[in-house]
Copies of this chain bind each other. A is one copy, B any other.
């Protein structure tokens, strides 16, 4: 489950992707537009700055701006910066792999092997989507219609 930190962070990044390049957005404005608790957003944008996704400027005319064009920022990496690895379980992560203390033989752990597949599926979606694409999704508002399609997908959707 995505934490609120990541959810708010993503919303803020989408907001920042919407301002004209070179201009900044105030934390107060981002918070108000997206109904995010301002103080929490302060902390979140701080982390995103430390991670190199955004730049900040203090004082009048200050605020936040993206450090790179939104087409260069992967959604998956934003989530990683805020919530940690995409993998549902750490032993299935490549970026922040950590051994499971329980589980004697990792290579035969059924849980891990299934979750490796899940991680791959998640990464396939999140790493293939740029911040720009994500923002466009919201603008056109179509959503799922234009997706993989097929009976299997629709069936899976009915129970997720």
Q: Give chain A's interface residues, CB within 8 Å of chain B.
A: 1-2, 7, 10-11, 14, 34-36, 75-77, 83-89, 93-95, 101-105, 107-111, 113-129, 134-135, 137-139, 141, 143-144, 147-148, 152-153, 156-160
From B11, B93, B135, contact of A160 by CB (8 A): B93
A125 to B124, CA, bound (A): 12
* Smallest CB gap from A1: residue in B: B88
Q: Do residues A119 and B35 form an inter-chain contact, with CB atoms below 8 A?
A: no
The copy count of this chain in the complex is 2
* Smallest CB gap from A36: residue in B: B102
A118 to B105, CA, bound (A): 29
19 residue pairs from A and B, CB less than 8 Å apart: A1-B88, A2-B115, A7-B111, A34-B102, A35-B101, A36-B102, A77-B159, A87-B160, A107-B141, A109-B138, A110-B134, A113-B137, A113-B141, A114-B129, A117-B144, A120-B148, A121-B124, A121-B125, A127-B160
